[in-house]
A = this chain, B = another copy of it.
């Protein structure tokens, strides 16, 4: 088991059950796949992934999300073209769009003659969480079935074009896309921040963050610099924390709330 923990955390000083159950080992070994074989995904496998996704937990059992499935290479290419920096998306034989969906609840309320009184930020959060839980479960299902996936949050960078492409009505918005196909190659597992930074015991305490960053940065190979056009080139690549700082210092998707308001979300 220790090889999975070393890949993920750079250390193996966890006291875990041995042997690890297979489903748990698979979680620790989760990776994204950004290269796919040309083979199409059979209907049965796609249906299985979708059934897996629907098994995800859902806030108050409300199931406030939708999944739009496309196998249309032209649509997938359009999304990839808008994003620009991820041409490999066009290789994926299937693209799933996970959407927060307030509309279904509004329709169900209306069908029962009741007013929908929850067009607020809490419902927006609930729809996002439901969509995220379904997407994460779809990823686990796909892995278990020999498929590969990669989540694409950048669909939200082009939301004003992506939403009409999939004819999303008011009350429905994309949380993320997910490419799906037989993996030609899986990425290496992404190392994760040490538990001392992410996990807090009894009360929140992030005093360990600053001291932990150099070790975590060292664990990760230097990556392509974010926003070189703003922050300058970095021919040797950037460490994780420097890239986080680079990315978060440039406003991204700052029109998201305004767009959502045009699509029926009060966000109050």
Interface of A toward B, CB cutoff 8 Å: 5, 8-9, 14-17, 20-24, 26-28, 30, 32, 43-45, 47-48, 50-52, 54-63, 65-72, 75, 99, 103-109, 111-118, 120-122, 125-126, 128-129, 131-133, 135-137, 139-141, 143-145, 151, 153, 156, 166-169, 172, 175-176, 189-190, 192-193, 195, 197-206, 209-210, 213, 240-242, 244-254, 256-257, 260, 267-268
Q: Closest B-chain residue to A57, C-beta based? A: B151
A256, B16: Cβ atoms closer than 8 Å:
no
**Residues from chain B with Cβ under 8 Å of A268 in the complex:** 254, 257
B195, A50: Cβ atoms closer than 8 Å:
yes
Contacts A108-B241, A244-B108; A195 near B51 (Cβ below 8 A) = yes
Contacts A43-B15, A132-B128; A257 near B248 (Cβ below 8 A) = no
Distance in Å: Cβ of A75 to nearest Cβ of chain B: 7
B52, A244: Cβ atoms closer than 8 Å:
no
**Residues from chain B with Cβ under 8 Å of A128 in the complex:** 125, 128-129, 132
Chain A to chain B contacts (Cβ below 8 Å), 8 pairs: A8-B55, A27-B137, A68-B200, A69-B202, A104-B197, A133-B136, A136-B137, A166-B202
B23, A251: Cβ atoms closer than 8 Å:
no
**Residues from chain B with Cβ under 8 Å of A22 in the complex:** 22-23, 144
Please tell me which one of the listed residues B14, B67, B131, B190 contacts residue A199 in the complex, with CB atoms under 8 A apart.
Answer: B67
A117, B27: Cβ atoms closer than 8 Å:
no
Q: Closest B-chain residue to A159, C-beta based? A: B122
**Residues from chain B with Cβ under 8 Å of A176 in the complex:** 59, 129
B108, A248: Cβ atoms closer than 8 Å:
yes
A44, B17: Cβ atoms closer than 8 Å:
yes
**Residues from chain B with Cβ under 8 Å of A111 in the complex:** 210, 213, 241, 245
**Residues from chain B with Cβ under 8 Å of A253 in the complex:** 120, 122
Please tell me which one of the listed residues B151, B192, B245 contacts residue A54 in the complex, with CB atoms under 8 A apart.
Answer: B192
**Residues from chain B with Cβ under 8 Å of A113 in the complex:** 245
A245, B112: Cβ atoms closer than 8 Å:
yes
B122, A5: Cβ atoms closer than 8 Å:
no
Contacts A59-B153, A136-B132; A145 near B43 (Cβ below 8 A) = no
